[in-house]
Amino acid sequence: MALGTLGTDATTTLVSINGWNPATAIADVAALAAAIKDQVNPAHQIWPGAFSPSGQLYLPNGRGIITLQPGDYIGYDAFGWPIVVSAESIADGSSSWTHS
């Protein structure tokens, strides 16, 4: 087995909360949470309670919980899968991440 590569088809196309913190607007948290989908359900229904104002991200279908730290970025892809990038990673000059 060998490591592969991962990227996007284009840049800055994922909707995200840029620099989450406990003061992030509830409307932004709710909008992001509503976009995270159940990956197993063929209808891809919203995954209830996927993201909370306290920074808890509940990955769909029992895959676990991620606790965001202030400054972390959270977004989702076109399929409704959440993507988290740490504040340190996105701020690093050699990082391949970009944001607006």
C-alpha torsion 38→40→43→49, nearest 10: -20
Kindly state whether residue 61 falls inside one of the protein's structural domains.
yes
pLDDT at 99: 74
pLDDT band at 43; cut points 50, 70, 90 = confident
23-42: average pLDDT: 91
Q: What is the pLDDT of residues 47-85, one digit of tens each?
A: 888 999 999 999 998 899 999 999 999 999 888 899 999
Residue-wise DSSP of 28-86: HHHHHHHH-B-SSSTT--B-TT-B-TTSEEEETTTTEEEE--TT-EEEE-TTS-EEEE-
Angle made by CA atoms 85, 90, 95, in degrees to the nearest 5: 115
pLDDT for position 14: 84
What is the domain count for the chain? Answer: 1
Confidence of residue 32 (pLDDT cuts 50, 70, 90): very high
Q: What is the pLDDT of residue 73?
A: 92
24 lies in which domain range? 16-91
Question: Is residue 72 in some structural domain?
Answer: yes
This prediction's pTM = 0.84
Round the average pLDDT of the chain to a whole number and report it: 86
